[in-house]
Structure 1
Amino acid sequence: MSLDRFTTILPDLIKALGETAFMVGISLAFAILIGIPLGILLFITDRGLFFQNVVIRSTLDFAINIVRSLPFIILLVALIPLTQLITKTTIGPAAASVSLSVAAIPFLARLVETSLREIPPGLIEAAEACGAKPLRIIISVLLPEALPGIIQGLTLTLISLIGFSAMAGIVGGGGIGDLAIRFGYYRYDNVVMIMTIVVLVVIIQVIQALGNRFARVADKR
């Protein structure tokens, strides 16, 4: 690829990366704010735990399974009315972030629940035997012990969101997927397609490497 060709594409690529970062950033923030507490709630309301509640647990479990069972492209279309209500539009990065958030929240919640289930039950029982209150157990036992798994879950969620955001480009969501579709696929421009693939591969590799490193640092075992 010539330098002139690269210079021509670069502004569009930078804009697409900015749109992707915007979409992914918003959805990841909502996933952290809602998905992590939701995952904790799923865990502590299960049988044998200090907030055991079959109704809450079953309801949350059912709702999460429904959202996670839908392919993202179908979820994207199904949420168009909600997207229109919230953002007053159905196209662009802001609109796409609604569907991305809805997909990311239950995804991360399930990963957080899985991480919490890997904690030896004896640690929780020991904390209860010492008279620790439920909130204290969550803050001082559950979260520190599950932190490496939660970090890995966040890493996987972030990588999945980048992939989902590329799909959002198919329906006008903007970002790197939109660039690949409009400039690469529709115009039969292999250079654009190759560039977007290379950029995505590099980004994913960096994110995974950082996630692994942070998880190892957080693992005190």
Structure 2
Amino acid sequence: MFPNVDWEVMMLETWNTLYMTFVAGAATFVFGLGLGMLLYITNEPLMTKNRFIYSIVGAFVNIFRSVPFIILIILLIPFTRTIVGTILGPTAALPALIIGAAPFYARMVELALREVDRGVIEAAESMGATKWQIIYKVLFPEALPAIVSGITVTIVALVGYTAMAGVIGSGGLGTLAFLDGFQRSQNDVTFVATVLILVIVFIIQFIGDRLVTKIDKRSA
């Protein structure tokens, strides 16, 4: 049925896609969560409002969130070459993936924290809780379902980013679909690579939905 498909190469590129997605996803979670917390804290009167810091962090987030990913990859080529040593391969795609996804996730974290009832924060503060205790014991647990849902959406977006990164030689299913499938008119290669990307997306979304459901049940 798929005469042009080299299954060994297909599995290798599937692994490369998973590697890029989950390594970048883990880094995005850490950096995005930190940026989102910083955005919330510096813009919330009940915490430590600081318009100067909020403006700087917000500008950074808005700039990198707004640049189309394929253009961002090109702009970051000198930076990638400096820290990785090459612009080819799955590892070389990680800086652009992280810088492209972390600001996006940071805004989702900020929105999740904003949805926490201010009355809960005020109650914790009236009982003598410190700022750190409010963040750790009130804000984060209350916003956790939305935070997990946000990282699920972001990781799904990262799968799409890896496909775009494949156009400039990062490896993965995107490279395979473009170089071996599209450019060589091997439609079966493109089809199989696309199906595998969809399977990865569905699995990520399923796991994320299950986690959110479990968190909601525990907090109910």
TM-score, normalised to structure 2, is 0.96
Choose the corresponding residue for 2:32, options 32, 35, 39: 35
The question of 1:101 aligning with 2:98 is answered yes
1:180 pairs, out of 168, 172, 177, with: 177
Identity %: 41
Determine the structure 2 residue equivalent to 1:55: 52
Contact 1:155-1:211 within 8 A present in 2 as well: yes
Give yes or no for contact 1:47–1:54 (8 Å, CA) kept in 2. no
Q: List, as ranges, runs of 4+ consecutive aligned residues in structure 1 with deviation greater than 6 Å.
A: none
Q: Is the 8 A contact 1:30 1:101 kept in 2?
A: yes
CA deviation map 1:167-190 (0-9, x unaligned):
000001110100001110011011
The superposition leaves residues 133-180 of structure 1 with CA deviations (integer Å, 9 ceiling, x where unpaired) of 011111100110011001111101100000000000000111010000
Q: Hey, what's the Cα distance between the residues in 1 that align with 2:132 and 2:26? A: 23
Q: d(CA) in 2 for partners of 1:199 and 1:46?
A: 42
Structure 1 residues not aligned, in runs of 5+: none
Query: Mind listing any 5+ residue stretches in structure 2 that lack a counterpart?
Result: none
**Size of the alignment, in residue pairs?**
218
| Partner of residue 195 from structure 2, selected from 171, 195, 198 | 198
Listed one character per residue, the Cα deviations across residues 31-54 of structure 1 (whole Å, up to 9, x for unaligned) are 122110111111011141311111
Q: Which residue of 1 aligns with 2:75?
A: 78
Normalized against structure 1, the TM-score is what?
Answer: 0.95
* Aligned equivalent of 1:90: 87
- What one-letter code is carried by the residue in structure 2 that aligns with 1:108? Y
Question: Aligned equivalents of 2:118 and 2:93: distance in 1?
Answer: 40
- Given residue 103 of structure 2, which amino acid in structure 1 is its aligned partner? P
Tell me if the contact between 2:112 and 2:147 (Cα under 8 Å) persists in the aligned partners: yes
What is the CA distance between 1:92 and its match in structure 2? 0.9
Q: CA–CA distance in 2 between the matches of 1:108 and 1:215?
A: 16
Instruction: Tell me if 1:124 matches 2:121.
Output: yes
